[in-house]
Every structure is written in structure tokens, then in C-alpha cells.
Amino acid sequence: MRSDPPPASLARRHAITTMGAGLAVGATAGVLPSQAGAAQGATAAVTAEYPKPPFPDQQQPWPALASRMQPRPDHGETSYRGSGRLQGRKALITGGDSGIGRAVAIAFAREGADVAINYLPQEEEDAREVVALIRKAGRKAVAIPGDLRQESFCTELAAKAREQLGGLDLLVNNAARQKPHRSIVDISSDDFDWTIRTNIYALFWLTKAAVPGMPAGSAIINTASVTASNGPGELLDYAGTKGFIVTFTKSLAKQLAEKGIRVNAVAPGPYWTPLQAAGGQLPGKLPQFGADSPMGRPGQPAEIAGLYVNLAEQGNSYTTGNVFSSTGGSGDV
């Protein structure tokens, strides 16, 4: 989900995070212990084949779609296997049409959750694929398009998701706006406001609307970024919003602990998503996207789904107020 931008101006940050040996990640996430050996072997084969730079220097008209990227991102469509870890849960995911949001929606559904996704109307083609995958997993899928930059829509989104899912106990604030600028003098007030409203106000408005109806045992997961502590010069406003999300997550976790609602964040590094092809990188940088990570490549959305599942499930009921970095070895928040 991107808030409605001018052409070629937007990208959302995506990421991969691990929480240690006890956490399932990527294609192995959600497998039973008896399945782990075979699944891990399959994962090694898959990840060894993930594409590395250079990539085609591609630009799509805004907003970009996953189906038109070269190579197409892997969201776990064929690899993620669930084991009922989120059985009966009700989840709302912003930016659920592609990238991290899509990977999380697929994983949540295959773990037994009913899922509502939010996205822009222009992203309907990608969103229809996600809805079909959720339903194929035997779960209820709810599609709620709209612009998160409007408080009234955020309030409506929370209400619609709760009503159509029959409750709401998982909220993933994943949608964001990213537009690079070489200098602070190039950032217009409209651009700055646009990023702030998408990355900060929308998260605040939606969480504020969702929390009153979330029961004890619920979980909120915010997508931050490694830029929160090591912001690139060209992502000044974006990095600032991600720093806010880190602090917001820690403070909200303290506030909601007495209600039994956990709040955590994921801090991503580079991920191969449609938004990178829609103005998320400075001109000429896309072909080498992710090449400077120790792994020599960007992450694929499928590689992060297991982390969100672990943060959502009740087995991690003492985990709150934390930020989990996943950067391909580039550093932590």
C-alpha cells in the first residue's frame, strides 16, 4: 500500500529479520519439528538461487506491480507451509498487496488466521492475487482499499476489518512511503508532509482506532527500518519517520502491557519489492540494489514472513517493546 503519490515517487521499505535459532524464517517458517530437516534442505536450495545484482534497470509507472518486476519477488507463494500457529486469529495488514505485507498475509493465512489487507485501488491487480492465496489456504480474506493519509479512512479501516473478520487481534502496520532526495533543499513541504502522514500519522490513527477493540492476547507489529539508526543521506525524511516508529513501538508497548496487548517492530534492510521499481531508488541505483549487503543481494519478502508469525503467536507472550533487525548482515537498530 502506498499513499497516493505523483508519478515515480514512492517506495516502501521491506525487510528480513531473525530472532535466533528458535525462530522459523522464510520457507521453513511454520513447519513442524518432524518436517524441519526436509524443509531446511529445501530452504537452502531456494535461498541459494535467490537473484543477485545486477538487476535490469527497470522503471514502472507508479504504482509498480509485483507481476511486472524482473525478476519477480518471492513472497512465499509456493514455499511457505503453516502448522496452525495462528489458528483462529484475525489480522489486519496494511500494504498487504505486495512485498513484506503480501508475504505476511500468505504466512498468516497458512498458519490459520483470517486476514484483511489494505492497499491502494491502483494496486488491485496484486491484491486480487493475495486474496486468492488467502482463500486457497482455507481462510477468510477481506480486501479494503483506500488511502491511509486520511484519518477518517484509518478509522473506517479498523472498523471494517473488525466487522468483516468477526474481531481483530493482530495488527501489522506495514505500509510506508519512501522517496529519495540528494539534498534537504530538494524536499518540498508537500513531499515531507506526504511521508510524515503515510509513515507516522497513518500508523498513529490506525492503531488508535484498532486498540479499543483488541482483546488481551492481541499483538501489534510495526515495520520500522535499519535506517532508523543508520539513515542514508538520500532518505532523510524516511529515516526520520522510522526512528519515530522505533520509539513509538517501545512506548506503546509499556502503555498496552496492562491490557495484555504486545507491541513489537521489525527493522528491515534492503528488500526486492515492486516499490523499488517505482521511484524508491535514486536514478541508476536499482541495478546494484542490495549488492553492498554482506549477502551480496537484497532479501526476498518470503524470507521475513516467519518473523512476523513468531511475533504474532502466543508462544512469544513475554516478548514486547522490542525491535528485531534483519538486514542481511548489514547491522542492527
Region 37-47: mean pLDDT is: 48
Beta strands in the chain, from DSSP E residues, in sequence order: 90-94, 114-119, 141-145, 170-173, 219-223, 262-268, 323-326
Report the pLDDT averaged over residues 273-299: 84
pLDDT per position as a tens digit, 134-161 = 999 999 999 999 999 999 999 999 999 9
Tens digits of per-residue pLDDT, 89-140? Answer: 999 999 999 999 999 999 999 999 999 999 999 999 999 999 999 999 999 9
pLDDT at 319: 97
Whether 238 is a known active-site residue: answer yes
Question: How do the domains of the chain map onto residue ranges?
Answer: 88-326
Pick from 37-46, 52-61, 176-185 the range whose average pLDDT is largest.
Answer: 176-185
Q: Considering 50, 119, 201, 238, which one is annotated as catalytic? A: 238
pLDDT at 49 over 60: yes
Q: What does the block give as the cell for 301?
A: 519478502
Instruction: Report how far residue 311's alpha carbon sits from residue 266's, in angstroms, rounded to the nearest whole number.
Output: 9
Q: What is the mean pLDDT of residues 13-17?
A: 34
Average predicted confidence (pLDDT) for the chain: 86
Cis amide prior to 283 (ω within 30 degrees): no
* The one-letter amino acid at 275: L
Task: Compute the average pLDDT of residues 296-322.
Answer: 94
pLDDT at 47: 60
Domain 88-326 annotated CATH 3.40.50.720:
yes
46 pLDDT higher than 80: no
Of 271 and 170, the structure prediction assigns the larger pLDDT to 170
Which residues, listed in sequence order, are joined to residue 119 by a DSSP beta bridge? 145
Q: Which of 273, 287, 208, 192 is nearest to 240 (CA)?
A: 192
pLDDT > 70? residue 8: no
Q: What is the pLDDT of residue 1?
A: 47
Grid cell 488467502 — which residue?
Answer: 134
Q: Can you tell me the distance from the alpha carbon of 333 to that of 329, in angstroms, rounded to the nearest whole number?
A: 12
Say what the pTM is: 0.85
Give the tens place of pLDDT for each residue, 187-211: 999 999 999 999 999 999 999 999 9
